[in-house]
Structure 1
Amino acid sequence: MDTTRNTVLEAWMKEHGHSANSLAEAVNTAAEQLTGRTGGHDGSSVRAWKSGRIRWPNAVTRKALELVTGLPATELGFVPRGRAQSTPAPQQEDPDMKRRTLVGGIAVAAAAAAAPGTAPRRIGMSDVDRLQQRFAEIIASDHRHGGQLSIEQRAAALADEALNLQNSGAATQRVRSHLYACAASFRSSAMWAAIDGRRYDDAQRHMREAQALAEMSGDQAIKFRIWSHAGTMYRHMGRPADALAANDVARNLNITRRDPMFASLGLARQAAIHGVAQDRTGTRRAFDQAQDAMDRADPHAVRPVWLIAFYDQAELHSLALSAYLTLGDYPTAESHGHRCLASLRPHMVRSRAITTTRLAHAQLHQGDADAATTAAMQVPATAATQHARVSRMLQEFGAALRAKAPGSPTVQTWTEHTAAWRTSA
């Protein structure tokens, strides 16, 4: 017999009269109770659990299984990542499993705490603080590089670390809530990296798990981040109605009434969505309201690291640049682009590349091919070739430039420059 088969789950299903399809249906119903969305499992999912091809389902699935069976995942024969195994694990087929490699000392501590014959360790705020430090590192990496698959994978792995820590010892409810918030934070960063890299299927998968974790944490700030990201994701996908609906969930959270800075971000992103919807009046009104809310916000208030790391006057101008560019109001877009670049903080490397590229588009559409090309050539080669959004926008810039000034010296300059980019990348 294949020693990796989950014979414990098989025995439970037999005892309770469940087929693969009936268990999948029960888990989907439980997932809907947890997240508001029906799970996507079928009989093949359950067979993957039984065969051992999926040894540790994602967090929402584990919680749903616990609701259905009344047992924790470990008592159903599932094996947490990072736990020692007597035989090599087979190749995983679940995409989540491919992404999650435990890293860092927290997972080591968790595995040691769970080892047989040792007393359960006490999980405390010092463990949460270590996770939050790792989250700050993810945020910093995102602002330097943005959209990279490695960032997405690292954030997803750290989300698993936070969840594994839940099962490694005793903790107060306050600590457990913080651990769920940490897991949701990491998962939302994985979601954002996937959005930024235009990997939208992966982004939506991260979103669903992040939403469930945020609900378990009760943390309003991380709920805001996830739903606000969802609005941005749908905006990039060209689905403004879904974008507005998701962004409205964020904007209706109590935290936007307690802190005008959250309200400002929600309104700024709403304005950018109105731009995609070609709603000029809505765009202008929302930006005016976003600016007013930012002006009212207490500059000394304590806020999450992910918010203070990026949202400021420069980001407000960046979103305005995006909106007015989409609306075809190129002079206004250019004005916001210059103001954004003038106030961007040094660590916002990814944002500078995106803003510079959008500024070049705004200038080109006003007929200034030389200024536009000079601006576009300021984008670093790494961003131009490795960041999916920037790369696509620059390809579109090149096509528009060739259409507006065919055979011109400016086109030749741009062609030579992009060839050098590809060589240096």
Structure 2
Amino acid sequence: MTTLRNAALEAWMKEHGYSSNSLADAVNSAVGDLTGRVGGLDGSSVRDWKAGRVRWPKSATRVALEKVTGLPATALGFLPRGRAPSSAPAPPPEDPVERRRFLTAGTALAAVAATPSSGSSRRVGKGDVDRLQCRFDEIIASDHRHGGQPGIEQKAAWLADEALALQSSGSATQRVRAYVYGCAAAFRSSAMWAAIDGRRYSDAVRHMREAQALAEMAADPAIKFRIWSHAGTLYRHMRRPSEAVAANDVARNLLITRRDPMFACLGHARQAACHGLTGDTTAVQRALGHAQESLDRADPGLARPAWMIAVSNGAELESLALAAHLSLGNFEQAESHAHRSLALLRPHMQRDRALNVARLAHAQLGQDEADIAVATAMSIPPDLVARHPRVTATIAGFDRQLRARAASSTLTRAWDEYAHAHLANIA
């Protein structure tokens, strides 16, 4: 029998920037959420799906894939066993008990949320908050590895809804309820960040509004800072510098920045990146100076949220200084900050590393070091370029600048051959 390729799945993966390996990772993570044990797929498993060799994945894998994509398996080109490829797609017959088992196994949070509140003697307590916080830390770790994938955004938004459902699952003290709202705001802020990182700005605005409302009911000033700081980043990426500065000012003026200079450091550094868009060199230098002073005053041993890791060791300050100087056209300073950021980034921060290497290539090209710049750009693994929209956009900008500077050079022709062979999505 002739095997037909799964064109629907291939089209979805191309549209959303997934490679076979990155989709396998996302589905494995979703399987872990659903069953309590991370899945065992790899890139070859997804290639089997695309080639049509596997026409109907196993139940747990299929449910996880639907969670990652937001689509039913039939809409992704899969066919239930025994159905001919020419048959009209329809929802597959499935044991609803089996589906519920995969959706709830290993996720105590979902089970708790499903508990009726009427007549319930259950009490929501610190243990529930701790479980939510563990899930938030998992989202942060996924972001560091995989960046703004739609699956991370969807997972974070789903967990925000689950945290809110927990509120009606039993009684709780006012303090615990505030913490749960803080967790919901945290999850929604991660959905917001994933959408920003994936350049899905209208979705990011929607998540931002919900996160801001939740933060007002929470007892976590750090999350309020994160949301407003992300709002500044959102407007910066949307090329709306005035709104970016205004949003970031809200973050910088929160009380937590006076209690912990590490938060002040991040606020000043992000403000520098906003000022870079306006070409205000003096404001950039002033903001970076304040950021460094704040970092020097901060207590490195103080307990902070997981999303502050790169701030605590100075990597985020160097990354934002790199972005600011690149916007100003200060290519020598940008290169210096790029090297320092790459030395400080943790090994698992793959997205940030790829992005800063791409920015480094820009800085080197801006200093007429085209041969070094091309080698730097080629050093980024192609799957990371394809997987992360901000990296894709930065390399696409590098491609345009290289062609504008030396359209007919041997070096540009070599880059062109490399890009056509490995970076089909930068056009």
TM range, smaller chain: 0.7 to 0.9
Mapped pair 1:381 → 2:392 = no
Mapped pair 1:105 → 2:116 = no
Q: Structure 1 stretches (4+) deviating beyond 6 angstroms? A: none
Mapped pair 1:261 → 2:262 = yes
8 Å Cα contact 2:386/2:425 also seen in 1 = no
- TM-score under structure 2 normalisation? 0.73
- Tell me how far apart the structure 1 counterparts of residues 190 and 339 of structure 2 sit (CA, whole Å): 28
Q: Name stretches of at least 5 consecutive residues in structure 1 with no aligned partner.
A: 1-90, 92-100
Q: Which amino acid aligns with 2:113?
A: A
- Tell me how far apart the structure 2 counterparts of residues 109 and 351 of structure 1 sit (CA, whole Å): 36
8 Å Cα contact 1:120/1:168 also seen in 2 = no
Alpha carbons of structure 1 residues 247 and 148: separation in structure 2 relative to 1, 3 Å: same
- Tell me how far apart the structure 1 counterparts of residues 120 and 404 of structure 2 sit (CA, whole Å): 71
Provide, for residues 316-372 of structure 1, a one-character-per-residue CA deviation record: whole Å limited to 9, x for no partner. Answer: 111011000100111111111111112211121110011000010011111111100
Aligned to 1:354: 355
Q: Which amino acid aligns with 1:114?
A: P
- Tell me how far apart the structure 2 counterparts of residues 317 and 200 of structure 1 sit (CA, whole Å): 25
8 Å Cα contact 2:154/2:191 also seen in 1 = yes
- Tell me how far apart the structure 2 counterparts of residues 167 and 263 of structure 1 sit (CA, whole Å): 36
Mapped pair 1:270 → 2:271 = yes
- Tell me how far apart the structure 1 counterparts of residues 278 and 317 of structure 2 sit (CA, whole Å): 19
Q: Name stretches of at least 5 consecutive residues in structure 2 with no aligned partner.
A: 1-71, 73-101
Aligned to 1:241: 242
- Tell me how far apart the structure 1 counterparts of residues 413 and 231 of structure 2 sit (CA, whole Å): 40
Instruction: Kindly report which structure 2 residues correspond to 1:9-408, keeping only aligned pairs within 5 A, or say none.
Output: 104-111=107-114, 113-114=115-116, 119-308=120-309, 311-408=312-409
Identity among equivalent positions (%) equals: 61
Q: Tell me the SS of whatever aligns to 1:206.
A: helix
Q: Tell me the SS of whatever aligns to 2:217.
A: helix
- Tell me how far apart the structure 2 counterparts of residues 248 and 231 of structure 1 sit (CA, whole Å): 8
8 Å Cα contact 2:157/2:188 also seen in 1 = yes
Per-residue deviation, 1:151: 0.5
- Tell me how far apart the structure 1 counterparts of residues 410 and 332 of structure 2 sit (CA, whole Å): 25
- Tell me how far apart the structure 2 counterparts of residues 172 and 261 of structure 1 sit (CA, whole Å): 31
Alpha carbons of structure 1 residues 310 and 287: separation in structure 2 relative to 1, 3 Å: closer
Q: Which amino acid aligns with 1:110?
A: A
Q: Which amino acid aligns with 1:257?
A: R
Provide, for residues 226-250 of structure 1, a one-character-per-residue CA deviation record: whole Å limited to 9, x for no partner. Answer: 0000001111111111011100100
Provide, for residues 14-37 of structure 1, a one-character-per-residue CA deviation record: whole Å limited to 9, x for no partner. Answer: xxxxxxxxxxxxxxxxxxxxxxxx
Q: Tell me the SS of whatever aligns to 1:347.
A: coil
Per-residue deviation, 1:419: 2.7
How many residues align? The count is 324
8 Å Cα contact 2:160/2:185 also seen in 1 = yes
Aligned residues: CA RMSD: 2.0
8 Å Cα contact 1:364/1:401 also seen in 2 = yes
- Tell me how far apart the structure 2 counterparts of residues 119 and 288 of structure 1 sit (CA, whole Å): 55
- Tell me how far apart the structure 2 counterparts of residues 286 and 346 of structure 1 sit (CA, whole Å): 28
- Tell me how far apart the structure 2 counterparts of residues 343 and 155 of structure 1 sit (CA, whole Å): 27
Provide, for residues 358-399 of structure 1, a one-character-per-residue CA deviation record: whole Å limited to 9, x for no partner. Answer: 010011111111100111111122221121111111111111
Per-residue deviation, 1:304: 1.5
- Tell me how far apart the structure 1 counterparts of residues 103 and 332 of structure 2 sit (CA, whole Å): 49
- Tell me how far apart the structure 1 counterparts of residues 386 and 127 of structure 2 sit (CA, whole Å): 40
- TM-score under structure 1 normalisation? 0.73
- Tell me how far apart the structure 1 counterparts of residues 230 and 340 of structure 2 sit (CA, whole Å): 24
Aligned to 1:57: none
